[in-house]
Amino acid sequence: MILHNLTMHHFRQFYGEQSISFAADEEIVTVIRGENGRGKTGIYRAVLFALYGDERLDQDGNDSNIVIPNIKALDEAKTVKQPVKVIVTIEFSQGHTVYKLTRSLLASVGETDTLYISDRSVTLTFDDKQITSKDEVDQVVTTILDNRMKHYFFFDGERMERLTRASSIQRKDVAAGIKNLLNIDQLRDAEKAIAIVASDVKKQLERHSTGRFQQNLQRQLVLEEEIEKAKTESEQLTETIEKMDEQFDSLTDQLNQYEEQRKAEEVFTQQLAILDQSKQQEQQVIEELIKMNQHLPLILAKDQLYRVQTSINTLLSGTTEQSGVGVDWLNHLLEDLTCICDRAFDKGSESYQAIESLIEAAKKSEEKKQYYPLLATTTRLIGQLEGKAEELEQLLERQKQVTKKRLNQETTVQDVANKRYEQAAGTIAEIISKRDKVMEDRSSHMAFLRKQEVHLKEAEDELQTLKTEANILKAKSDIHKQLLRKQEEVEKAAITLKGMIQTFEQSMMRELEDVAMQNLQYLLDEGSLTNIRKVKIKPDYSLEVENGFGQEFLANISQGQRQILSLSFITALAQLAGGESTLELPLFMDTPFGRLSSEHHNNLISYIPNVCSQWILLVTDREFTDEQKDMLEDMGHLGHMYQLVTKEKGVTEITTVRKGIHV
């Protein structure tokens, strides 16, 4: 089967009509990128809805409220009181035949916001034929891709993690995979039919026999009924216990989420405290800047003060040092016409003129004396302002740094907030109480199951003893030989068929182990392979690996290695189901790189395109980097790339990032 196109109308997050083309031929990889909640898994849901009419996935809990119609379209329809038509069309080919399959339904919202689904319809066209009968369409699709095989062309992180967790869920998943892979329903039906025939023959023998042999056969019939009833009850008990195990694991996961949430809250609180400290530091700097406001006018006038200082210095430049002689005393000398040495001189003489010059200089000195305090004050103020300007510059730099620190811390807080877990329902005490009740109920069921198993073993042992005794009594019985011969042949057929089924199952399990190990060798790094020598499926269907000494080693490998093991096992299931080395199924992988190292990333990208016909990667932007994109392009495997973009609440738009050559 090769997928070509998928068109969705009002399906899940995809409002209106939106389409995706799937890469094929040499370019077999289609990449669909989008953050969680954008609708990556919704695309796989649309494929299953179109092919099989499935409205739920295996990973959906029983209590999950899965809404198929687009929420925005429902709101609009509620306003105009009209139903929403949901349509999904998928085009695919098998061999040379191209199929176009369309499924649709009508959805409406009642007065109490109850969702009503009606008018489900389907149309399949191929080879100029058109089929609208659901049963006939399902029959055609099943011949192309068995409904049971849909479980093996979708990988999601949760399922891959679950496959390597030692639990009843894991054993159930592995067992279901093997049983679906064996496809021995007809053999199982034949086994049941032979058991019915054997019982009928034994009843005929009982009616035609007498004495002790008759009593033996009567007791055998009673024991067989008891054994069948005990087996049925044991199966029901086992199924109930498995559901309890699932419930226990779910409650444990909730408790783990609380623990993770508690840790996340601690980190969030710490980061909030750091943010608060950053805000306080920023506020402190701002307050210091506010105090600088009183100096800002003077700082702004600093250049003007420099000009005043320069002017005063220019004015005072060339000033003669003061003689210490006052102007009045010099005037007295001129009036007396007597020199300081008591020598007389004439008016207008050289001495007279010299004293006049000295008087003039003394007057100028007296005039400039008033500028010295101003010069001193100006110089002192300039010095103070130089310090304040430097302080202001340092404050502004501090303010820049603390603001940057605060902004970075706000980003950190937002990132941490985005990773916080949503509050789960109930309290830890309630969850623990529920889990304890589940374990208590499980213990009582297990006790009853063990009692049933003991009773079953006793009944089977007694039945075997009776059969041995019956073989001895047959020779002494007067029963018709033909009836005895019939019983022998029926019992022989039952034993042979049971042995065939067991041999087939064991053979397939060994082959599954080999193929899974082969995949593992391609995907794991060399260092990991030194500790893992064999993939093993245990008798209880749990998955295990062995080291070089034949010891169970699963508990010792990393989460990334466990994920690779899950990928290897599921891929092996799909490969064997297809009957070819290349998987003739579209392989969907939802966030497969979560816990893988870069080397495992590259191994996966190199290997998977060689074992499947189409690979659809549903990834986040962080998972699928330019390195992986370049790697796929270099190998010639990358076809189409799409980005899922949220336009508004409940609405995702599919945008084309890259279109491959083979469209």
Q: Which helix (H) or strand (E) holds 656?
A: strand 651-658
User: Can you read off the two tokens belonging to residue 508?
Assistant: 């397939």
pLDDT in tens, 452-466: 888 888 888 888 888
pLDDT in tens, 137-192: 999 998 887 776 676 667 665 666 666 665 556 566 666 666 666 666 667 777 78
Rounded CA-CA distance 19/38 in Å is 15
- Mean pLDDT for 282-308 is 66
- Mean pLDDT for 584-594 is 75
pLDDT of residue 423: 46
Cβ neighbours, 10 Å, residue 29: 26
- pLDDT category, 600, cuts 50, 70, 90? confident
Rounded CA-CA distance 73/85 in Å is 9
For the four alpha carbons of 507, 513, 518 and 519, in that order, the dihedral sign comes to: positive
User: Can you read off the two tokens belonging to residue 159?
Assistant: 């399922």
Evaluate if pTM is beyond 0.75.
no
- Crossing angle between the packed helical segments 481-523 and 168-182, to the nearest 10 degrees: 110
Q: What are phi and psi of 106, to 5 degrees?
A: -110, 135
pLDDT of residue 140: 92
Cβ neighbours, 10 Å, residue 541: 18
List of residues 6+ apart from 174 with CB closer than 8 A: 163, 537, 541, 542, 543, 569
Query: Could you tell me which of 408, 406, 424, 378 has the C-alpha nearest to residue 250?
Result: 424
- pLDDT category, 397, cuts 50, 70, 90? confident
Rounded CA-CA distance 166/555 in Å is 9
Q: Which residues pair with 135 in a beta bridge?
A: none
In the chain, % of residues over pLDDT 70: 70
**Environment class of 341 (CB within 10 Å of its CB; exposed 0-12, middle 13-18, buried 19+):** exposed
Position 575, amino acid: Q
**Domains of the chain listed by start with CATH number:** 2-175+584-658 (3.40.50.300), 186-252+423-497 (1.10.287)
To 5 degrees, how large is the angle CA 527–CA 529–CA 533? 150
pLDDT of residue 136: 95
Rounded CA-CA distance 100/91 in Å is 5
pLDDT at 656 over 90: yes
Report CA dihedral (149, 151, 154, 156) to the nearest 10 degrees.
-160
pLDDT in tens, 468-479: 887 777 665 555
What is the total residue count of the chain? 663
Strand pairing class (543-546; 14-21): unpaired
- pLDDT category, 322, cuts 50, 70, 90? very low
pLDDT at 296 over 60: no
In the chain, % of residues over pLDDT 90: 15
- Mean pLDDT for 306-327 is 58
List Cα–Cα distances, 291 to 30, 284, 302, 391, 392, in angstroms: 62, 11, 18, 12, 10
pLDDT of residue 424: 43
User: Can you read off the two tokens belonging to residue 303?
Assistant: 């250049």
- Average pLDDT over the chain reads 78
pLDDT at 10 over 90: yes
List of residues 6+ apart from 511 with CB closer than 8 A: 576
* Strand order from edge to edge, sheet including 97-109: 14-21, 2-11, 84-94, 97-109, 115-126, 129-131
pLDDT in tens, 234-283: 888 888 887 888 788 778 877 776 776 667 767 777 888 888 888 888 78
Which one is predicted more confidently, 8 or 151?
A: 8
pLDDT at 411 over 70: yes
